[in-house]
Each structure stands twice: as structure tokens, then as C-alpha cells.
């Protein structure tokens, strides 16, 4: 189970506040990295999204030192990282928030297997949102027996 993820944004406080609205939670500062914030779902899983300033990089520590933060002015705007997140709000609420923020939002079918709502945070990073009306499709798709069946039909290149 993934309990939290981190992303970067041009306006970390605003993005954390918008994500907190979609999680039906709250936003708060993230003290380990000044200028960073968290969107907390305040659920039983401890779900939260850390939002760092754009250009933030996590670097490995040395020896027994934990990871550290750095800033890279040349960091890419787009990346491959995304997450599928169940949210307690409706599809209509997601669309309303996206429109208000000027962020791309699109209701999509993933090859007919399940549906998601793509939300493009600041129009540079995609997260897939699963409101209650479509979350059940995804949860059914990822049941172990269904995944095993799908994987058995996929040929692995030699």
C-alpha cells in the first residue's frame, strides 16, 4: 500500500490546498523542506501528498545519512511519475476544481479495463483520480486473480 507520494509544483501551497480539497482533507506545511506542503486525506491509511517547490530533487545520503533535498534549476517540467488516487469527491467536483484552476482534466477509459479522471496538476503532472463512482472498476481490475489472468495472457519477450 502506498501511503504517501511526493511531487513538485510551481506553487506548492496552492497545489497542496487544491489536492487537500479533492481528498476532503487539509493542507499543512512540510517542515523537513521549507517551502513545501502536504495535502492530507486524514484517513485511516495516512494518505498524503507532499508538494515540493519545482526543481526539488531528493538525493541519497552518504553512509548513515538520510536522503537530502537539493534544487535543480534545470529540472524537467514533465516526467513519467504518476499515481492513481481514490478520492471521496464526485466526478463533477473534480471537473469543477480543474476548470477553476485552469488544469486539464479528462475522463478516460484505460483500454476498456477501468476508467480514471486524468488531472494535470499545473498542466505538467498527471494524477489519475478515482471518485467513488468509478473506483470500483479499478479495484475489481487489480484483484490478484484478475491480474494473474491478465499476466498469463501477456507474452514476455525473450
Exposure of 7 in the CB half-sphere (CA atoms within 13 A): 26
Backbone angles phi, psi at 49, to 5 degrees: -125, 120
Q: How far apart are CA 151 and CA 154, in angstroms?
A: 5
Q: What pLDDT sits at residue 57? A: 87
Q: How far apart are CA 17 and CA 11, in angstroms?
A: 10
pLDDT over threshold 80, residue 24: yes
Instruction: Answer with the residue of higher pLDDT: 36 or 62.
Output: 36
What's the CA angle centered on 42, arms 9 and 59, to 5 degrees? 40
Confidence band of 155 (pLDDT split at 50, 70, 90) = low
**Element housing 120 (H / E):** strand 114-121
CA torsion through residues 14, 120, 44, 135, sign: positive
Q: What pLDDT sits at residue 73? A: 77
In this prediction, residues 37-61 reach a mean pLDDT of 93
pLDDT over threshold 90, residue 77: no
Do 3 and 20 touch, CB atoms closer than 8 A? no
Query: Per residue in 17-33, is it b (16+ CB within 10 Å) or e — as a string?
Result: ebbbbbbebebeebeeb
pTM above 0.75, yes or no: yes
In this prediction, residues 89-116 reach a mean pLDDT of 96
Q: What pLDDT sits at residue 31? A: 93
Amino acid at each position: 500500500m502506498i501511503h504517501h507520494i511526493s511531487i513538485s509544483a510551481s506553487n506548492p501551497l496552492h497545489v497542496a490546498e487544491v489536492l487537500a480539497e479533492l481528498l476532503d482533507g487539509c493542507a499543512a506545511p512540510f517542515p523537513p523542506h521549507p517551502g513545501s506542503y502536504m495535502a492530507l486525506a486524514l484517513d485511516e491509511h495516512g494518505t498524503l501528498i507532499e508538494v515540493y517547490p519545482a526543481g526539488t530533487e531528493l538525493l541519497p545520503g552518504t553512509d548513515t545519512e538520510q536522503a537530502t533535498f537539493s534544487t535543480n534549476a534545470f529540472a524537467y517540467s514533465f516526467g513519467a511519475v504518476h499515481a492513481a488516487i481514490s478520492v471521496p469527491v464526485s466526478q463533477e467536483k473534480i471537473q469543477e476544481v480543474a476548470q477553476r484552476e485552469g488544469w486539464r482534466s479528462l475522463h478516460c477509459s484505460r483500454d476498456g479495463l477501468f476508467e480514471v479522471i486524468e488531472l494535470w496538476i499545473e498542466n505538467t503532472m498527471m494524477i489519475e483520480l478515482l471518485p467513488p463512482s468509478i473506483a470500483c472498476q479499478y479495484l475489481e481490475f487489480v484483484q490478484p486473480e484478475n491480474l494473474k489472468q491478465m499476466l498469463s495472457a501477456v507474452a514476455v519477450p525473450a
